[in-house]
Amino acid sequence: MNMNLSSLDRRKFLRGAGVALALPWLETFTSTAQTASNPLPRKRLACFYLPDGVPMPLEKDPSFKEWSWFPHGGRKNFTLTKCMETLEPLRNELTVFSGLSHPAVRHVHGHRNADQFLTGADTGAMDDSYQNSISLDQVFAAHAGEHTRHASLVMSTDGGTGSPRGAHTLSYNAQGRPIPAEHKPKRIFDMLFVKSGPDAARRLALSKSALDDLLEDARSLNRSLSKHDQETLADYLQSVRDTEVKVEKAKRWLNIPMPRMDTDRLKLDITPEDPRNFLRTMYELIYLAFKTDTTRTVTYQLGRENGVGISDYLARAVGFKGTHYLSHETKKPDGYKNFGIYCRFINEELGRFASRLKATPEPGRAGNMLDNTALLFGSASSAFHLSRNYPLLLMGGRNMGFKHGQYLKYGQGNNKHQATAGISSDAGWRGEMNFSELPTANLYLTMLRKLGIEAKSFAGSTKTLSEV
């Protein structure tokens, strides 16, 4: 990419040694006319996927009260369990949903449904032909991508595309083809840099810190900035520096080879803290991408279904040898508690990221970044590997009109036992379900319209959720 870093471009980039770093929005370089032609606030979307379902003990189980993923109580007076209580500080910024699923794949085993989480397509069972459709994020990216350097940022813990019904990505293009996900923090980090010279890659690789070559330009630029912008720039550079350090730490974990058979016999140079650091780093990269307006659309698949890939190591952050097996050992002593501890960790890091957005003023001082960012978090698998009652969270987006502080229950026949979606036995994904649900695409269509897209339908749904 050829980039002419003129004085005008210096408003957007810092230069040094053939490398340019994207800048955050600075009011000093925004005229009244520019603001009118590009009105704020910006609208952003980030979607996250959790594999293997969540703890959903039956009401008769001793773990039901404390370790059910779904809250207890009503629409407004709900109580978050130990699994979810780390999100309590963000209670008024979130909505919990139950009673939603994709009709086309309700009959499919829960481990085969990640592919359609954002598409709603009938991807079929293992012996069926495979066909997907465009994902929610790519519909939005087609709308918002023209305003940013990258139309979307597609991330996962395992990287690539995976395989049909075993996807490593949440994102699918207009033809239903998977978009490869990036999983190496260093590569994602480098996407924030424009290599303006032919020798830039070598210089960046040899540099102790990419920022070292940019600080002189930053000091020069600082003299022409307002006090508010000086503070914004200083905070941003520190964020990039901190992320750079985290990226280096995360590389050690990612370079560990995947186990082939018995993980207990592997002598891996890894600590429980490494997965936590990796997850935080990925969230920090999303934060920087949003803050610099490098993209307004992000997907991050935390892991592949069925315990395949390095993402199964995430549970090591809280003392477990792997993630997937936790969903299979819920009937053992403390089984639901252990599964809940892992989900608590995942919710804690999600909350940390959301809180970071909330604490950051929106460029142009239009509220905070969370007010202008819709965060969708969930899974296409619930308890017992069911493709029903997706555990879903929607956070942020107040400036788009989203209403929060709610626990919304949909469907019929499951009002009394909503936290277990009306399930009366642990028969698994083949069990009978004597209840009905609404299409998840009703939520997605609602989101698209609030994101500014006048879509008439999505994944076959033409209805929206007025409560959202």
Hey, what domains does the chain have and what are their CATH numbers? 44-192+259-450 (3.40.720)
Question: Which two structure tokens, joined as six digits, stand for 29?
Answer: 């370089």
Percent share of the chain, pLDDT over 90: 46
Give the pLDDT confidence score for residue 30 in this predicted structure.
60
Say which residues have a Cβ less than 8 Å from residue 276's Cβ, sequence separation at least 6. 317, 345, 349
pLDDT confidence tier of residue 456, bands split at 50, 70 and 90: very high
For strands 19-22 and 193-195, give the pairing: antiparallel
Give the pLDDT confidence score for residue 34 in this predicted structure.
46
Reply yes or no on whether the pLDDT at 197 is more than 50.
no
Give the pLDDT confidence score for residue 267 in this predicted structure.
28
Any idea which of 24-28, 121-125, 413-417 has the lowest mean pLDDT?
A: 413-417
Reply yes or no on whether the pLDDT at 7 is more than 50.
no
Helix (H) or strand (E) holding 374: strand 373-378
Alpha carbon distances (Å) from 418 to 68, 98, 187: 11, 7, 43
Q: Are 292 and 240 in contact (CB under 8 A)?
A: no
Q: Are 366 and 27 in contact (CB under 8 A)?
A: no
78/435: higher pLDDT: 78
Question: Which two structure tokens, joined as six digits, stand for 356?
Answer: 């970071």
Q: How buried is residue 146: exposed, middle or buried, by Cβ count under 10 Å (0-12/13-18/19+)? A: exposed
Q: Output the CA angle 258-264-270, nearest 5 degrees.
A: 60
Reply yes or no on whether the pLDDT at 196 is more than 60.
no
pLDDT confidence tier of residue 466, bands split at 50, 70 and 90: very high
Q: Are 279 and 314 in contact (CB under 8 A)?
A: yes
Give the pLDDT confidence score for residue 5 in this predicted structure.
37
Give all strands (DSSP E) within 165-286, no chain letters: 166-167, 193-195
pLDDT confidence tier of residue 36, bands split at 50, 70 and 90: very low
Reply yes or no on whether the pLDDT at 189 is more than 70.
yes
Question: Which two structure tokens, joined as six digits, stand for 242?
Answer: 């901190």
Q: Let me know how long the chain is.
A: 468
Reply yes or no on whether the pLDDT at 195 is more than 50.
no
Note the pTM of the prediction, 2 decimals. 0.81
The candidate with the shortest Cα–Cα distance to 346, out of 390, 379, 370, 383, is 379
Any idea which of 59-68, 202-211, 273-282 has the lowest mean pLDDT?
A: 202-211
pLDDT confidence tier of residue 92, bands split at 50, 70 and 90: very high
Give the pLDDT confidence score for residue 33 in this predicted structure.
41
pLDDT, the chain, mean: 81
Distance CA 349, CA 328 (A): 23
Q: What is the pLDDT of residues 213-253, one digit of tens each?
A: 677 677 777 777 888 788 778 877 777 776 766 666 555 54
Q: What is the pLDDT of residues 365-383, one digit of tens each?
A: 678 999 999 999 999 988 7
**Best mean pLDDT range from 200-204, 281-285, 398-402:** 398-402
Q: What is the pLDDT of residues 297-339, one digit of tens each?
A: 999 999 999 888 888 989 999 999 889 999 889 889 999 999 9
pLDDT confidence tier of residue 265, bands split at 50, 70 and 90: very low
Give the pLDDT confidence score for residue 107 in this predicted structure.
82
Average pLDDT over residues 157-169: 92
Reply yes or no on whether the pLDDT at 15 is more than 90.
no
Distance CA 395, CA 402 (A): 9
Reply yes or no on whether the pLDDT at 66 is more than 90.
yes
Give the pLDDT confidence score for residue 377 in this predicted structure.
98
- Eight-class DSSP state of 172: B
Any idea which of 128-132, 199-203, 216-220, 303-307 has the lowest mean pLDDT?
A: 199-203
pLDDT confidence tier of residue 95, bands split at 50, 70 and 90: very high
Average pLDDT over residues 65-83: 93
Say which residues have a Cβ less than 8 Å from residue 220's Cβ, sequence separation at least 6. none
pLDDT confidence tier of residue 430, bands split at 50, 70 and 90: low
Alpha carbon distances (Å) from 253 to 49, 70, 181, 368, 417: 21, 32, 18, 33, 41
Amino acid at position 186, single letter:
K
